[in-house]
């Protein structure tokens, strides 16, 4: 019996909303999602991905947030280069819970920025964006301002999905130095402990 694209995507999103995808699914399934995105991009003349769930504005916001979570630095490329936004969008397109959590979270972020700074998140200065992300990055912020609770839950879930998207990509696997299950002729053991 052949497994359809939809079946594989659903298996990727079976985890509870509070958990990280990789706690439930095998790496091979996540790699399959990355291959699907790569094949779609290769099939277009612009080599671009068309979001399946998020609107153009929401997808740009998602890309910005993924870049803030795992930015490109001197050591490695970041989450956007690794395809984390595409990975997240593809999974979200098949899971109602993800749609509510992420779609609602992005709306919360824009509305909160409008209330605080009179602009949606993407139109805020880099300093204002950092300020709001610093607030929703820590659960303790909800003690001082309970209105941040939804944003904190959203950002926590998004960080987990971004990490999953990054570390299951070719870039993330290369960053980890993972070479797979390889046969070694000799295992030298641990180096001696200095005295």
Residues 154 and 99: beta-carbon distance below 8 Å = no
Q: What is the pTM for the complete model shown? A: 0.81
Number of domains the chain contains: 1
The DSSP secondary-structure symbol of 140 reads T
Tell me whether residue 183 is in a domain.
Answer: no
What pLDDT score was predicted for residue 105?
Answer: 97
Tell me whether residue 187 is in a domain.
Answer: no
At residue 24 the predicted structure's pLDDT band, cuts being 50, 70 and 90, is very low
What pLDDT score was predicted for residue 26?
Answer: 61
Tell me whether residue 130 is in a domain.
Answer: yes
pLDDT in tens, 146-162: 999 999 999 999 999 99
Tell me whether residue 95 is in a domain.
Answer: yes
What pLDDT score was predicted for residue 30?
Answer: 78
What pLDDT score was predicted for residue 127?
Answer: 97
Q: Where are the beta strands (DSSP E) in the chain?
A: none
**Domain span including residue 133:** 5-176
Tell me whether residue 58 is in a domain.
Answer: yes
Residues 158 and 146: beta-carbon distance below 8 Å = no
pLDDT in tens, 37-79: 999 899 989 989 999 999 999 999 999 999 999 999 888 899 9
How far apart are the C-alpha atoms of 96 and 69, rounded to whole Å? Answer: 24
What pLDDT score was predicted for residue 174?
Answer: 84
- For residue 108, give every residue at least 6 positions away whose Cβ sits within 8 Å of its Cβ, in sequence order, or none: 150, 151, 154
Tell me whether residue 188 is in a domain.
Answer: no
What pLDDT score was predicted for residue 56?
Answer: 96
Upper half-sphere CA count for residue 63 (Cβ side, 13 Å): 15
How far apart are the C-alpha atoms of 38 and 147, rounded to whole Å? Answer: 39
CA nearest to 165, candidates 92, 73, 106, 97: 92
| CA distance readout (Å), 106 to 23, 100, 129, 145 | 24, 10, 13, 19
Tell me whether residue 138 is in a domain.
Answer: yes
Tell me whether residue 15 is in a domain.
Answer: yes
Residues 71 and 133: beta-carbon distance below 8 Å = no
Higher pLDDT, 34 or 188: 34
């Amino acid at each position: 019996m052949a497994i359809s694209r939809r079946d594989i995507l659903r298996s990727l999103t079976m985890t509870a909303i509070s958990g990280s995808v990789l706690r439930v699914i095998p790496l091979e399934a996540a790699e399959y999602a990355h291959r699907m995105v790569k094949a779609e991009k290769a099939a277009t003349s612009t080599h671009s991905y068309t979001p399946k769930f998020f609107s153009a504005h929401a997808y740009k916001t998602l890309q910005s947030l993924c870049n803030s979570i795992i930015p490109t630095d001197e050591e490695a490329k970041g989450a956007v280069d690794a395809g984390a936004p595409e990975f997240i969008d593809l999974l979200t397109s098949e899971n109602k819970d993800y749609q509510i959590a992420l779609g609602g979270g992005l709306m919360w972020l824009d509305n909160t920025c409008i209330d605080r700074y009179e602009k949606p998140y993407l139109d805020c200065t880099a300093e204002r964006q950092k300020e709001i992300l610093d607030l929703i990055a820590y659960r303790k912020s909800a003690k001082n301002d309970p209105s941040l609770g939804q944003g904190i839950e959203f950002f926590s879930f998004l960080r987990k999905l971004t990490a999953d998207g990054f570390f299951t990509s070719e870039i993330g696997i290369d960053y980890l130095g993972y070479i797979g299950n390889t046969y070694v002729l000799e295992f030298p053991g641990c180096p001696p402990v200095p005295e």
